[in-house]
Chains A and B, each alone.
Chain A
Amino acid sequence: MGDEDFAQVFGGEAGAKTLVSDTAIHATKRELNQKKQAPETRVVEFNNEPANTGFVSNVIKSTKYTWWNVVPKSLWEQFRKVANFYFLIVAILTFIPGVTSFSPSTAVIPLVLVVGFSIARELYDDGMRGRSDRRSNNQKFSVLNRDAKGSGTTEEVKSLNIKVGDILVLKKNSPVPADCIPLLSTEEGGVLYVSTAQLDGETNLKRHLVTQATKDLTDAAQVHALDGRAEVSGPNPQFEVFQGSVKLAGAEDAVPVDSLNLVLRGSTLRNTEEVHALVVYTGTDSKVALNMRDPPSKMCQLDRTLNWTVLMIFVLLVILVIVFAALAGVAQERVVQDSWYLGPTSTDSGVEVGFRSVGTFLVLFSAWIPISLFVSLESVRVFQALFMFRDEKMKSFDGRRMAARSTNLSDTLGIVHTILSDKTGTLTRNVMEYVACAFSGEIIDIREDPSLMKDRLAAGDKKVNDMASAMAICHSVVPDFHGEDEGEILEHPTYQGQSPDEVSLVESARSFGLELVERSVDNLVLDRNGVKETYGMVGEIEFNSDRKRMSLVVKMEDGNYRVYTKGADTTMFPRILLSSEEEKGIEDDLHMFAVEGLRTLVFASKDITEEQYQSWQTTWREALLSTDEREEKMAAAAEVVESDMKFIGVTAVEDKLQDQVPETIEFLRNAGISLWVLTGDKRETAENIGYSAAMLSRSMTVVHMEARSQEEVSTMLEDTYKTHCDSAGFEGTVGNMKSLRSLTNVKQAKKYRPGVHDGDKSLAVIIDGKTLQFVLDSYAKYFLAITDHCQTVICCRVTPMQKALVVRMVKKLRGCVTLAIGDGGNDVSMIQEADVGVGLFGKEGTQASRSADFAIGEFKLLKRLLCIHGHYCWVRNPGLINVSFYKNVFITMGQVFYQFFCQFSGTSIHNEYIVTVFNVVITLFNPIFFALFEKDLDEEVLMEKPEMYQANRERKNFGKRTVLEWVMGYALWHSIVTFWGQYGSLGSVRESNWLDGYEGGINAWGFGLSTQVIVIVLVKMLLMARTWNGLYLASFVISLGVFFLIVPIIISFIDDNSLNGVLPTTFSSGTWWMTFIVNATAAFMLDFIVVLIRRFYFPDAITMEQEREYSRYWTRK
């Protein structure tokens, strides 16, 4: 279907198929959808241990290692990494005699250090997990005595010994050790409250009920004496999906139980003295355990390029080794076999020597791959995360520090291309404030006069009365009189509710004079100016994101039944009886509210007779009890009461923008980041927020995309493209698939872009959820081609799944770095899908911030996170990697060159220990300090000038070009200059470089070369940094000092005298010093030419800004 349409609309038969298959984003829907298991049922007998068999124990185990597999498993984990495996092979080769003259310690020590560091970190993490496991497994709980049934006595049981069918006795503030069905509560009406902060991060208390079957019981002994069975659905990971029934021995009917009757492991009992509860799911069957999975590990762009580079470097090494092994074979045949002084073995055949030399060179050139790089990078990123965490300026208004959970993404923050943001709670505060209500044409806005509603309510205005009553009744909010302090009872309750909108409505009803004072399982008590009104709650149809409405059936004081429903306008309109006039009036009101960016809810009610109620009650119960097609049956039952309703009014709630949101968005946009907003809100609301948050401006062309069919979508896309985008840059027709495909690639798009815009006219697209689905299914690339021309894209009325799919679309098809930011549970999938996920510590729980890679307190902190921390990390980490490759290739090239003089026999010109120390000590700390403190520009400048972020992002600090520059440029040139310069001047025939006439020999020559390499590498590290702070300068001095101090240590430690006296000999040679000076000058000549040409004749914005900054220092007093 999609194929045909596309081909029809855009022509290009041939390209159509590939394009559609390319854009098959929808194929991934399934993965994102949590899989819906068809739950088999399980039967739990009350407190009857022999009958409840075949269930898992309550042990929780989250550790990766056990005592018997810790050694093999941790080693396996380490040596799975290619670099470590390579060094393992090198270490093994050093143990084979005859292959190499390197002693095993030079290969083993660095490997042990590197692997040991990683393993220690792993084990530490695992130990922490194990400790918390043991703590929770060994915590003691009381259960009703398993053997003495009916006595009411309890026994203490460790958490790990709790079994299905046990009846737990939970005290106030006790954690819940397993999923269980409460049977008895000390609170009135069988109510109990739990906090689920550990599970979903929601801070409000959740109300649960004991089963209907046991609600009349009063003491523990009765519970203990119970015989019965609970038939419940099998374990599944969805918190809300739980159904089943409880049948007591002797009772006629089974009583249904649902998620309201299930208390989950991981929650904590609150405001309830004591609860008896039947354990139904234990250990790995509990919902929290089924929900536990490793967060998707994200691989950042830098690491991907790094892996590729390591692979290339490795391939280069292999080629080098093979060529040199072959040359060694040739040399053996041509020269060595004739040399009597090389002993009897010199007569080995060339082929034999060639094969043996593969091992020799693998070991000799092993320093080619920087073994310490991965450890340095890892630890540097940990420190960078620490810097972010400790940054005083990253604190939010309430003093909360940010959290950096994925340390490996610090540098990715510097190259973000597209931000996909949630709206509510992310751009806005998520502090809801009731502002107005409307009754088809009549608007009462309390911002004009706060007492307006109150006065009219007091005056007995019927409309207002209905409105206020509906606001006070139709909700799931619970009043809580408990104060912050223990035992404190408040005069007016605070309200606990899952939706801030509801809470704000209930609070405003109170301000009008209708105070909610009590909510028990059956009743809801309102206080109307001192007079108590009691409403019986006889039915509730809960809110969910599909229904987008909730209903409450109440029994009025006069005995009549009434249904109150509130919900989104789209779902409410079909259910309300309205004249067309009224409808128009309401639509106008809604439009007005939406334009102001207010969130609206439509309220309606319906009076029903007792018979109607009873029949509904029966179908509803049946639906609840049914195990198959439950949802459908419930929807059908709900339909009975939620139809032909009477309109009450529309409420409008304001959600204010957070501090500095427009400024931040403006800044980020100027930083070359495109911003997408994905929201579940109405188009108008979203659009309005867009204007107030500076994402849209009057000068923009705003394109609305709302379509109901595939044809419509394709026509719309084509029109939009033709009108707004296809002005230039495209060769040929719109249907030219080739250019279309390439356009969606960032690089290509950039190339086309300059010609595309007419003047400063720019485009914004607002698309709704349904249209978006068509786009995701069939036209992803085409849509992206349009959005390439957009400053702003707003997707409204999207589901959480769509959010994730949009992120995936942008990430995959655009190939750019995406950042998703959100605060609620509905943003989690998007946050996990994006290259970088940022969570806000939100009002809607901490779920988003806990699953995010970075969590911040306010939206405006995103600016500092990206433009300071991201920017710096994208300068620092690439620098660290570049210099690591450089230094190792540099020192190894000396070995390579020397092979031409020693018949490719594998003699090491650098002392093997110096190479090892070079790798793991001398040049370890300078790059790390570089990666911690380098600043290419001052913070103030970065915070003022968004362009610098973009300039840095486009700079390509690490990639093929930089590796070529550092390895093939600096490393090669420096090694050529030092080696051949020393060959030319320090003497190739007469090595007597002293007044006393004696010769230096191979050891002095090698030491002279090593010293040159080390000093030049250290100086190069100094030169690569723009800022030198005390630590960086100190690391230079210390490294140099360590080098000189370590030589005597090596001499005393090793068992040959190759370094004996070499240091004083070398430094007493005038020739060596002269050589060193000229070599260093020649080596850095290249660096300076490159730097000068780049700085003076091809500068970029950052270079210029650096120069400007320099002048500011001088003028500042």
Chain B
Amino acid sequence: MGCTVSACAKLCKKGDGPELDEEEKIRTSEDFHGLRLHFYRIRQQESPTLIPILRPAFVITFYYILFSVFLAVGIVLIIHSGQIVSLDDVRYDNIDSCNVGDTSDGTTNNCQVEIEVTETLKAPFYVYYGLTNYHQNHRRYVSSRSSQQLAGEEQTDAQLSSCEPILFFANGTVIIPCGLTAWSRFNDTFSFCKDPGCENQIDWTDQGIAWETDEDVAFQPGPWTDAQNELINSPDFIVWMRLASFDTFTKLYRIVNEDLSPGTYFMDIGSNYPVSGYDGTKFIAITETSWFGTRKTSLGIIYLSICGCLFVIATALLLRHLIKPRRLAYEDLNLVKEYLVKTVDIGDEEVKQKALGQQSNAVNT
């Protein structure tokens, strides 16, 4: 936006006075060294400097260019975003047979929802589960885990204190993995089928749903039981452990590597996770992605609105510049003296007159 219009390197001007002697002394000294001169200039605060300055023509042009770029980007984003096939979210916790209730009693509730595909979903496309009103970002929830334990290192009880309040079983042994986050992991199961009886399942994979760095570094098997190690290394668990930023979120469940033609499909759900106690909901989301991820109309809209602002500002400046341009001091040297009177008018009348006189003399010469 417009500050560095034209920057010009300004070199130290040679003036009269003792500093010149000093500088010359350094220049001509036998052990002349560029660095010494440089230090001298820094000390004397005379290092070469760039001086960026604003000119209206530049600012207006720059804002118009920025406006056109943003306009183009915004339109492309919106069109591109619209081309991504993204199915509507399918809520399932309100289906009676899937309703777990306020707390889990350990039994699995099974239900099935229909998935309507109206446009072909191109591979790879992604299946997410989502939760609402769920505060993974609560401070206690965020901090209640042990990164070392997850990375496979055995820890003392004291080191694990961050896992409070989910640290020990009733018998005093350490819970592995410990902490609220791990304890409250999402445990609904899904199968994506082409027929209601679920005999013809769609192939999907959990490879690649978690961050590579998490799989490689952060979640490692440790000296615990196989079941525990398997849990810690399962992609679903790792995805759950990457906490969501907000209270309504989706988490990647599976990746489908085949195209899905329009039609009706079925999702078999094993519902275990209680959400009604805190007024939460559960849903399924299926979508393609692009270079910017899932569909993002908002990004395009933001670009367009900022581009509107740019246009308004640039036009206002242009109009003002055309209708009533301000003379610039580097084109009209008398201007400085006018502004001196305008802004520094606390001086005595005589001083002011004198100042103006000097100014005009300086201008004349």
Known: A903-B135, A999-B244, A1071-B296. A340 touches B274 (CB 8 A): yes
Contact of B1 among A395, A753, A1084 (CB under 8 A): A1084
CB distance from B363 to the nearest CB of A (A): 10
Instruction: List, sorted by A's number, 16 A–B pairs whose CB atoms are closer than 8 Å.
Output: A339-B135, A340-B274, A341-B180, A393-B17, A750-B346, A984-B302, A992-B250, A993-B292, A997-B293, A999-B251, A1002-B243, A1061-B211, A1061-B212, A1071-B299, A1074-B77, A1075-B299
Contact of A1078 among B21, B150, B302, B326 (CB under 8 A): B302
CB of B136 within 8 A of chain A? yes
Cβ contacts B1-27/A at 8 Å (1 or 0 each): 111000110100101011101100000
19 new A-B contacts at CB < 8 Å, known A1081-B306, A1081-B310, A1096-B54: A342-B138, A342-B140, A393-B19, A901-B137, A902-B138, A935-B49, A950-B347, A951-B343, A992-B289, A992-B294, A1027-B50, A1028-B51, A1056-B145, A1060-B214, A1061-B211, A1071-B292, A1074-B73, A1075-B299, A1078-B70
Contacting residues, chain B, for A392 (C-beta < 8 A): 17-19, 21-22, 44
Cβ contacts A1090-1114/B at 8 Å (1 or 0 each): 0110011101110111111111011
Contacting residues, chain B, for A341 (C-beta < 8 A): 134, 141, 180, 184, 278
In A1062-1080, which residues have CB < 8 Å from any B CB?
A: 1064-1065, 1069-1071, 1074-1075, 1078
A979 to B166, CA, bound (A): 33
CB distance from A204 to the nearest CB of B (A): 30
CB distance from B42 to the nearest CB of A (A): 7
Question: B293–A990 contact, CB under 8 A?
Answer: yes
Contacting residues, chain B, for A762 (C-beta < 8 A): 348-350
Cβ contacts B38-79/A at 8 Å (1 or 0 each): 000011110111111110100100000010001001000100
A-binding segment of B90-98, B112-120, B168-176, B332-340 = B332-340
Contact of A1060 among B2, B209, B213, B302 (CB under 8 A): B213
A1009 to B333, CA, bound (A): 46
In A645-684, which residues have CB < 8 Å from any B CB?
A: 669-670, 672
Contact of A1029 among B49, B66, B77, B289 (CB under 8 A): B49
A-binding segment of B224-232, B264-272, B351-359 = B351-359
Known: A343-B180, A950-B344, A1113-B8. A1029 touches B47 (CB 8 A): yes
CB of B193 within 8 A of chain A? no
Contacting residues, chain A, for B303 (C-beta < 8 A): 1074, 1078
CB distance from A955 to the nearest CB of B (A): 9
Contact of B45 among A387, A999, A1030, A1089 (CB under 8 A): A387
Contacting residues, chain A, for B295 (C-beta < 8 A): 990
Known: A1001-B243, A1107-B53. A757 touches B348 (CB 8 A): yes
Question: A672–B346 contact, CB under 8 A?
Answer: yes
Name the CB-closest residue of A to B151.
A1057
CB of A84 within 8 A of chain B? no
Question: A999–B296 contact, CB under 8 A?
Answer: no
Known: A791-B350, A1065-B211. A981 touches B135 (CB 8 A): no
CB of A68 within 8 A of chain B? no
CB of B32 within 8 A of chain A? no
CB distance from A816 to the nearest CB of B (A): 12
Contacting residues, chain A, for B343 (C-beta < 8 A): 951, 954, 1100-1101
A1108 to B133, CA, bound (A): 60
- 3 interchain residue pairs of minimum CB distance: A1061-B213, A1111-B330, A1107-B329
Question: A989–B277 contact, CB under 8 A?
Answer: no
Question: B3–A1023 contact, CB under 8 A?
Answer: yes
Question: A940–B49 contact, CB under 8 A?
Answer: no
CB distance from A1116 to the nearest CB of B (A): 8
Question: B246–A901 contact, CB under 8 A?
Answer: yes
Contacting residues, chain B, for A1111 (C-beta < 8 A): 329-331, 333
CB of A309 within 8 A of chain B? no
CB of A391 within 8 A of chain B? yes
Question: B10–A1113 contact, CB under 8 A?
Answer: yes
Contact of B349 among A757, A984, A998, A1027 (CB under 8 A): A757
A259 to B53, CA, bound (A): 67
CB of B252 within 8 A of chain A? yes
Question: B339–A1082 contact, CB under 8 A?
Answer: no
CB of B245 within 8 A of chain A? yes
Q: How many residues of B contact A (CB 8 A)?
A: 129
Cβ contacts A861-898/B at 8 Å (1 or 0 each): 00000000000100000000000000000000000000
Known: A342-B141, A950-B346. A989 touches B249 (CB 8 A): yes
Name the CB-closest residue of A to B325.
A1096
Question: A1099–B339 contact, CB under 8 A?
Answer: yes
CB distance from A1024 to the nearest CB of B (A): 10
A388 to B218, CA, bound (A): 55
CB of B143 within 8 A of chain A? yes
Q: How many residues of A contact B (CB 8 A)?
A: 120
CB of B261 within 8 A of chain A? no
Name the CB-closest residue of B to A993.
B293
Known: A951-B344, A992-B294, A1074-B292. A1057 touches B349 (CB 8 A): no
CB of B201 within 8 A of chain A? no
Name the CB-closest residue of B to A338.
B278
CB of A1005 within 8 A of chain B? yes
Question: B289–A1001 contact, CB under 8 A?
Answer: no
Contact of A670 among B130, B342, B354 (CB under 8 A): B354
Contacting residues, chain B, for A1078 (C-beta < 8 A): 70, 299, 302-303, 306
In B268-303, which residues have CB < 8 Å from any A CB?
A: 274, 277-279, 285, 287, 289-296, 298-299, 302-303
A799 to B145, CA, bound (A): 76
A391 to B43, CA, bound (A): 7
Q: Main SS of the interface on chain A? A: helix
Contacting residues, chain B, for A935 (C-beta < 8 A): 45, 49
CB distance from B302 to the nearest CB of A (A): 5
Question: B137–A992 contact, CB under 8 A?
Answer: no
Question: A1027–B49 contact, CB under 8 A?
Answer: yes
Contact of B296 among A360, A951, A985, A1100 (CB under 8 A): A985
Contact of A992 among B124, B126, B143 (CB under 8 A): B126
Contacting residues, chain A, for B328 (C-beta < 8 A): 1107
CB of B165 within 8 A of chain A? yes
Contacting residues, chain B, for A1109 (C-beta < 8 A): 51
A1078 to B306, CA, bound (A): 7
Residue of B59, B126, B245, B306 with most chain A CB atoms under a 10 A cut-off: B245
Contacting residues, chain B, for A1006 (C-beta < 8 A): 245
Cβ contacts A363-390/B at 8 Å (1 or 0 each): 0000000000000000000000001001
Question: A989–B248 contact, CB under 8 A?
Answer: yes
Name the CB-closest residue of A to B362.
A944
A339 to B280, CA, bound (A): 9
A356 to B330, CA, bound (A): 61
Contacting residues, chain B, for A1114 (C-beta < 8 A): 8, 330
Contact of B294 among A990, A1026, A1029, A1106 (CB under 8 A): A990
CB of B142 within 8 A of chain A? yes
CB of A418 within 8 A of chain B? no
Question: A999–B347 contact, CB under 8 A?
Answer: no
CB of B319 within 8 A of chain A? no
Question: A991–B249 contact, CB under 8 A?
Answer: yes
Contact of A998 among B1, B166, B211 (CB under 8 A): B211
A920 to B299, CA, bound (A): 34
Question: A791–B348 contact, CB under 8 A?
Answer: yes
Contacting residues, chain B, for A97 (C-beta < 8 A): 161
CB of B360 within 8 A of chain A? no
Question: A997–B294 contact, CB under 8 A?
Answer: yes
CB of A195 within 8 A of chain B? no
Contacting residues, chain B, for A902 (C-beta < 8 A): 135, 137-139
CB of A612 within 8 A of chain B? no
A418 to B238, CA, bound (A): 70
Contacting residues, chain B, for A360 (C-beta < 8 A): 139
Contacting residues, chain A, for B56 (C-beta < 8 A): 1096
Question: B1–A1081 contact, CB under 8 A?
Answer: yes
Question: B137–A1081 contact, CB under 8 A?
Answer: no
A1084 to B151, CA, bound (A): 42
CB distance from B292 to the nearest CB of A (A): 4
